[in-house]
Amino acid sequence: MLTKVHTGLDPVQGVWWKPAHKAEVIWVSVAFAWCIVLFAMMPLWHWKGGQNPAGVRSRVEPKAFYARTTEFAKQYQVGTDGGVPIAAPPPGADVYLVAMSFQWYPVLQLEQGKEYMLHLSALDVNHGFSLYPLNVNFAVVPGFDYALRVTPTSSGDFRIICNEFCGIGHHTMVGRVIVVDSTGAAVADNPDATIEHGGAL
């Protein structure tokens, strides 16, 4: 006698066409309701989220931004780090940082607890501003000046990692931000270090 083989030609045996079990209906309803909650959170976070940068974007000519940045670096230069100028602007100043393949220019030295207007832009292609080891990330786009109000809340010696693939030297594109406290000392590797942008993070 031949064994019955399911060929797909005969209807499948089972109860799948009968109404769903009560428990299934409840769980599908719960999952759907949760989807709606998360969906509503998207616009809510957009307006109310503490992660939103308090910044303004404006168009800028990359060459003009670069010229402004080198002028800024020269004006407030206090030293050099590997050939890159270290700029120490006074609190409240407009601070310029330009990303280019494959460098961040200049090195910034800021004071803890003081607010600055940080202008970010790129000279050539898209780069990504990622402040290590903190969770601060911004896209750096040529042709746009991204101005952010930033207040460093902890002193330390921070690294800017490029987190947008920008070419062959992408992995070497590391910049530096030094935050000094009121005594003028930068506490390196502070595990509790945070940087606020727009006063809320």
Kindly state whether residue 123 participates in binding ligand CUA, applying the rule CB under 6 A.
Answer: no
Show the binding pattern over residues 8-47: x = contacts ligand CUA (CB under 6 A), - = does not.
----------------------------------------
Radius of gyration over every alpha carbon of the chain, rounded to an integer in angstroms: 26
The beta-strand segments (E) located in 54-187 are: 55-59, 77-81, 84-87, 94-100, 103-105, 107-111, 116-122, 127-132, 136-140, 144-152, 156-162, 174-180
Find the shortest distance in angstroms from Cβ 201 to ligand CUA.
23
Positions 85 through 104 that interact with ligand CUA (CB under 6 A): 99, 102
Among 111, 145, 164, 196, binds ligand CUA (CB under 6 A): 164
Kindly state whether residue 141 participates in binding ligand CUA, applying the rule CB under 6 A.
Answer: no
Find the shortest distance in angstroms from Cβ 170 to ligand CUA.
4
User: CB under 6 A: which stretch of 68-76, 107-115, 160-168, 193-201 binds ligand CUA?
Assistant: 160-168
Kindly state whether residue 166 participates in binding ligand CUA, applying the rule CB under 6 A.
Answer: yes
CA-CA distances (angstroms) from residue 28 to 33, 42, 53, 131? 9, 22, 37, 41
Per-residue three-class SS string for 136-157: EEEEECECEEEEEEEEECCCEE
CA-CA distances (angstroms) from residue 146 to 96, 120, 139, 169, 185? 10, 5, 9, 24, 29
Among 57, 114, 159, 170, binds ligand CUA (CB under 6 A): 170
User: Which residue has 């809320």 as its token pair?
Assistant: 200
In the bound state with ligand CUA, the residue whose beta carbon lies nearer, of 69 and 154, is: 69
User: What is the binding site for ligand CUA (CB under 6 A)?
Assistant: 99, 102, 127, 162, 164-166, 170, 173
